[in-house]
Structure 1
């Protein structure tokens, strides 16, 4: 293995380990939002909640790099659970936007606050400089990943 492969392997391995723990943490608490919410639908829910002013289902699919049918099934589930609603697009009367009603948004915000506390516990023995540096490096990694086309 070359040094470049070793570095890539180490980063991939550690990120995968961490993502599994974050996913496990979230899955153990999804019932706080709704007892029938699964993790993949939760990810769509977050995508909709984070879209300022709502989002078209097709734009959500493109942004999350998933098939439109996946979004369609997830949206149906989220609507059935009362976690999202469809609203008319303000400038295109034919289009609909997905948005999160206030009650569901408050559930998500409470969930996120508990998540922030969990991260705070994980980072409790880090210095403020370490945390800020780590956050900047993650932002840099995300920006690079967003600029890289799928292979």
Structure 2
């Protein structure tokens, strides 16, 4: 576990340094995470975001206030008719998020440029497994669009029954 802990610490260090040093206009880490979650799940209230990230609502309120001030998110009525207003990404927020994702993916492509496609897929699979294991322990699941996995933020996955052909 010592080696795993050290390597994960180093991995997070590389991402933080790359974010700040290469382009000071890139989104702050909290903004990137909040916008990514809203982008994946759709409009969310402050309470839903706090629950999804396991944070105090006052912390999320401060972070989302910064998004609102910068024009990266906007408050909208709950599309489902609920009482709480929700946060939705603005066009500018979507543009900035897409730019950051593109920059992150470009950096990752350089890091694994000499890896085979099979090695990249293996790393992806292991990281998904690691993240899902951590999510299961916390009881907070991150929806993954590639899986069609759009369950609410803090509910465990629902086992899918195989489709039965119609008679």
TM-score range, shorter chain: 0.7 to 0.9
The 8 Å contact of residues 45 and 85 in structure 2, kept in 1 or not, is answered as yes
Q: TM-score, normalised by structure 2?
A: 0.75
Structure 1: any 5+ residue segments left out of the alignment?
A: 1-7
Q: CA offset at residue 107 of structure 1?
A: 1.8
Q: Find 1:94's aligned residue among 79, 83, 96.
A: 83
| TM-score after normalising by structure 1 | 0.83
The alpha-carbon distance between structure 1 residues 78 and 11, as it changes in their structure 2 partners (threshold 3 A), is same
Match of 2:33 in 1: 43
Q: Say if 2:4 is the partner of 1:11.
A: yes
Counterpart contact for 2:71–2:93, Cα < 8 Å? yes
Post-superposition shift, 1:136?
0.4
In 2, Cα distance between equivalents of 1:126 and 1:100:
35
TM-aligned CA deviation for residue 27 of structure 1: 2.6
Q: CA deviation at 1:77?
A: 1.1
What secondary structure is seen at the aligned counterpart in 2 of 1:148?
helix
Unaligned runs of 5+ in 2: 140-167
Equivalences, count: 139
Aligned partner of residue 32 in structure 1, secondary structure? coil
Give the structure with the higher percent helix.
1
Q: What is the RMSD computed on CA atoms of the aligned residues?
A: 1.9
Q: Give the distance between the partners of 1:16 and 1:63, measured in 2 at CA.
A: 23
